[in-house]
Amino acid sequence: MASTERLYFSDPFLHQFTGRVIAHAAWNGTLSVVLDRTAFYPEAGGQMADRGLLGGYAVKDVQVDDAGVVHHVLELSEGKALPEVGAELAGQIDRARRRVHMALHTGQHMLSRALVDVAQANTISSRLGETLCTIDVDLEVLDEARVAEAEELVNSVIDDDVAIRSFFPTVEELAALPLRRAPKVTDNIRVVQIGEFDVSPCGGTHCTRSAQVGMIRVLGVERYKGKGRVSFSAGRRARTELWQEAGTLRGLSRAFTCGPGEVPVVIDKIRRDLTETREALGAVRAKLADQAAVELAAALEKSPERRVVAVLEGANPESLRAIAARLTSQPESVVLLAGRAPEGMPVLIARGSGSSFGCGAFLKRLAEAAGGRGGGRPEHAEGRLPPGTDFPGLVAQLLG
C-alpha cells in the first residue's frame, strides 16, 4: 500500500487540505480510509490523534499501524458507506484540539529538557491525555523544589520566544546534533529543535516558536511504579485550569467576606474552630453516654431476662460502643441499642461473657425485617436501619 504524505510535518498550522482515497482498510476491526496525503495526526509518541471532518464525515480516530499505514476511522451513520477509492476529500482539522496538542507536546519536550538540566532526571515515558499529561523519569524520588526550578526554567524559555525547527536531518547532520535521547526509529528520523535549549527526535506536531506554548504548569509530583512522575499542563488547557481555580478562589473569598489572598488564613481558622467544636461535642457525647449507661444499668438490674432495649437520640456508633462496654460487664447481660439520626439508625447488639445470645444472627434477622444492613459475631454485632424504624417494637416482635 502506498505511503501517505503527512502534511503536518511541514506545517503544523495547516487545518484544511484535500486528499485522495487510495485504499479502504481496517484498524482493530473497524473500517478505515487511507489517503494519499493527510494533515490529520495519528496517535503516536504519547500524543493523541487529531479530530475533525473528512469529506463531510466526522473523523473519530486516526491511527498508524506497524507498516506505517495511516488509518482514518470515520463516523458512519447506519447504511452509509466509506468514500469510494479515488474520491478526493476535503479535510478539516479540529483547530482548537490541534493547538492544545501542539502546546502540550512542545511543553513536554521543554520540561523533559529542564528536568535533565536541573534534577538530572531523564524522561523514560510521557503521556499527553485528554485531561492529564505526565512525564515519568528514571529517578525513584523527585525533589519538588527541583521540579519547581525546572518549571521556572521552561517558562523563561517560553518568554524568550525562541524559534522551533522541525526537520529531517541528513545522516551527517544527525550525528552532529546533541540529541537529548536516542531515536526510536532508524530511518526518516525527524528532529525537533527548540532554540539552543533542546534537540529531540520526534514525529509529533509542535509549535514553531516557544511563546506559542503560552505557559507550562506543574500540577503534581509523585512516585509511580517505583519511578518519579510529574503531572503538568500547558497552553490553553493550563490557562483554562487557572481561570477555573481563580473563579473558585474568588467564590470562596466572597463567601468568607475576605480578599482572595486571605482565604487560606480563613480556612485555617475554620479548621481550628471545627477541631475545637468536635472536641467539645465529643465531651458532651461522653457525658451523655455515661448518664445513659447509668440509667440502662439500673434497667438491666430489674430485667428478669437480663436484657435491655433502648433508642438513644443522636447517639453515634462510638457512643453505642461505649455504653455497651459498660453494660456487658455484667456476664448475663444482652444489650440491644440504637441511635436516632436523620440519615439512619446505627444499631449495636452485644452480650456479656456468660450469655449465649447470638448477636450476629439476631441482627441479620433484624436488618432483613427492617430493610437495613448489618452483621457480626455471636458476641457483638453492628449495623444500620432505615430512619423511623420502630426498633423496640421490631425487637419485641422478633424475640417473640
Same domain, 185 and 216: yes
Same domain, 149 and 80: no
Domain annotation covers residue 16: yes
Please give the angle made by the CA atoms of 249, 254 and 259, to the nearest 5 degrees: 70
Domain annotation covers residue 221: yes
Q: What is the pLDDT of residues 82-115, one digit of tens each?
A: 999 999 999 999 999 999 999 999 999 999 999 9
The band of 79, judged by pLDDT with boundaries at 50, 70 and 90, is confident
Same domain, 235 and 115: yes
Domain annotation covers residue 275: no
Domain annotation covers residue 150: yes
> Which of 69, 93, 117 finishes a domain?
93
With CA atoms as reference, report the closest residue to 72 among 21, 117, 107.
21
Q: Do 161 and 208 form a contact (C-beta atoms < 8 A)?
A: no
Cell of 143: 525533589
**Domain with 89 in it: what CATH number?**
2.40.30.130
The stretch 124-151 carries a mean pLDDT of 95
Cα torsion through 171, 174, 175, 181, rounded to 10? -130
**Full domain range(s) for residue 87:** 5-93
Q: Do 24 and 73 form a contact (C-beta atoms < 8 A)?
A: no
> Which of 93, 108, 139 finishes a domain?
93
> Which of 71, 93, 115 finishes a domain?
93
φ, ψ of residue 224 to 5 degrees: the values are: -135, 120
For residue 197, how many other CB atoms are within 10 A of its CB? 20
How far, in Å, CA of 279 to CA of 215, rounded?
A: 46
Q: Which residue has the higher pLDDT, 3 or 125?
A: 125
Q: How far apart are the first and last CA of the chain?
A: 83
- Cα atoms in the 13 Å half-sphere on the side-chain side of 137: 27
Across 158-162, 172-176, 298-302, 362-366, least confident range: 298-302
Q: How many domains does the chain have?
A: 3
Residue 341 has pLDDT above 80, yes or no: yes
What's the pLDDT at 289?
80
Cell of 63: 491511527
**Domain with 148 in it: what CATH number?**
3.30.980.10
Same domain, 230 and 119: yes
What's the pLDDT at 281?
84
Q: Is 343 exposed, middle or buried (0-12, 13-18, 19+ CB in 10 A)?
A: exposed
What's the pLDDT at 46?
87
Same domain, 151 and 205: yes
The band of 1, judged by pLDDT with boundaries at 50, 70 and 90, is low
